[in-house]
Chain A
Amino acid sequence: MGELKVLGGGGEVAVTTRFSDLLQWARKWSLFQYPFVTACCGMEFMATAAPRYDIARFGAEAPRFSPRQSDVLWIVGTISQRQGPVVRRIWEQMADPKWVVAFGTCASCGGFYDNYTTIPGVDKVIPVDVYIPGCPPRPEAVLDALMLLQDKIQANDRKPIIVPPNHVVENAPGNAKETDS
């Protein structure tokens, strides 16, 4: 939460910070999400929301199926040309501040649907904050994206970002390569 100063001593403690920092801190831990799920990525989204990966740990467990009540628009899956106006309308109905996550390759760049049916990336229609690669992405990547988004919210940074690849398998205990040193 940026700069924290503890003043005083004994029984009474006062903490100072900037108001904007406090506001962003509150926002990032209370993200109401609108899942716009159109394709197979939805299964991974469900896995992320279910207890094993438990997106509730990040304060983002409550889905709101009204755009007027939500903060984050998850575009989960392929967006066809016919859905373009719908996505645009939903995004316009969301109240500021709002964020958009492109979940999976299709939402990010159209994937292998290089043809007349599909919008090549939902960012052609609405601005996107975080892109998650993968077809579909693993729940770990989704949680990485959520944490990236929280960092962006805290820093008040609207520059789009792609979730970097994470070599989970190589780094996992037991899978680490043996080295001489």
Chain B
Amino acid sequence: MSQAVVDRLGTQFGERILGTSDAFGDHEVQVAPKDWVEVAQFMRDDAELRMDHFIDLTAIDYPERESARFDVTLTTRSSHTNARIRVRTHVKDGEEPNTLSGVWLGANWAEREVWDMFGIKFQGHPDMRRILMYEEFIGHPLRKDYPIDKTQPLVPYREVTDIDKLPPFGIEEGQPFARIDWEARLAGRDHQVSPSIGVQQGQRRTLSDSEAAQQIQARIDARMAQEAEASEPTEEGSGE
């Protein structure tokens, strides 16, 4: 079914379809940004295709790619034929593709999310504002060069000194902590970036699963030893 859509687009647009793929049964065509709206409009209005269901529009960041940094992808479906297709276009940093909000209303918020998360603006969009983050936020957090745990608080943080949070609130809890090389971070060698980017930029070495587990176990052991040492005198006192 979806292959028919690819074929139809191929006959209609010819050379302007830059590439197709059907990996894992997901049919995809690639177009240039200048054809972006025209292809979408055709898919919606064509009597054979009738792609009336806008599913999603999002972007992917490839910071290492020099020709065009971002991929913008559109997923759409026909409720008549149940065909589903993904359209992809390469967008340079700062380039502004045309908006699809005139084709499908649902694209309005999806494009706002892409602007918010990736910093890709859409030409002709009626309301190009952030949708998830607050207006005071600087940067676009899903760009891979945004440090994942860099926060921008709206309210200045209180100094919390009157409580010592022990496990289960310690650093052992939660998923992303496990792969962070804490020794390096505390020593200032590993900056506040996500572990994978830290590896890419050479700021930290890769930790294998067993190494990460060893680090965590060592910290737990050290803390337990510390606590046992601290609680020993009181135990003697209460025993007497």
Contacts and interface: CB of A to CB of B under 8 A. Distances in A.
Interface string A130-149: 01010000000000000000
Given A85-B154, A109-B169, 13 more contacts: A84-B153, A88-B155, A105-B169, A108-B165, A114-B176, A115-B141, A115-B151, A116-B149, A118-B151, A124-B157, A125-B157, A160-B163, A162-B163
Contacts, number: 78
A88 B175 CA distance: 28
B155 A121 contact: no
Interface in B91-148: 133-134, 141, 146, 148
A99 B158 CA distance: 17
11 contacts: A82-B134, A84-B154, A105-B173, A111-B173, A112-B175, A115-B149, A115-B176, A116-B146, A121-B165, A126-B158, A131-B165
Interface residues of A, number: 30
B168 A133 contact: yes
B153 A108 contact: no
Contacts of A121: 160, 165
A119 B153 contact: yes
Residue from B133, B134, B169 with most neighbouring chain A CB atoms (10 Å): B169
Interface in A74-114: 81-82, 84-85, 88, 105, 108-109, 111-112, 114
B177 interface: yes
The 5 A-B residue pairs with the shortest CB-CB distance, nearest first, are: A112-B174, A124-B157, A160-B163, A84-B155, A109-B169
B183 interface: no
B109 to A, nearest CB: 17
A159 B177 CA distance: 29
Interface residues of B, number: 26
A153 B166 CA distance: 24
A81 B152 contact: yes
B152 A116 contact: yes
A47 B146 CA distance: 40
A80 to B, nearest CB: 9
Given A116-B141, A116-B149, A123-B158, A81 B177 contact: no
A85 B156 CA distance: 10
A141 to B, nearest CB: 11
Nearest to A124: B157
Contacts of A117: 141
A108 B154 CA distance: 19
B65 interface: no
A114 B149 contact: yes
Given A81-B134, A112-B175, A115-B148, A123 B160 contact: yes
A109 B141 CA distance: 21
A125 B151 CA distance: 14
A108 to B, nearest CB: 6
Contact of A81 (B154, B173, B174): B154
Contacts of B160: 121, 123-124
A42 interface: no
Contact of B162 (A82, A160, A165): A160
Contacts of B165: 108-109, 121, 131, 162
A63 interface: no
A84 B176 CA distance: 23
Given A109-B169, A131-B169, A162-B169, A116 B163 contact: no
B151 A81 contact: yes
Contacts of B134: 81-82
A123 B163 contact: yes
Nearest to B177: A114
B158 A105 contact: no
A126 B160 CA distance: 10
Interface in A144-181: 159-162, 165
A81 B168 contact: no
Contacts of B153: 81, 84, 119, 124
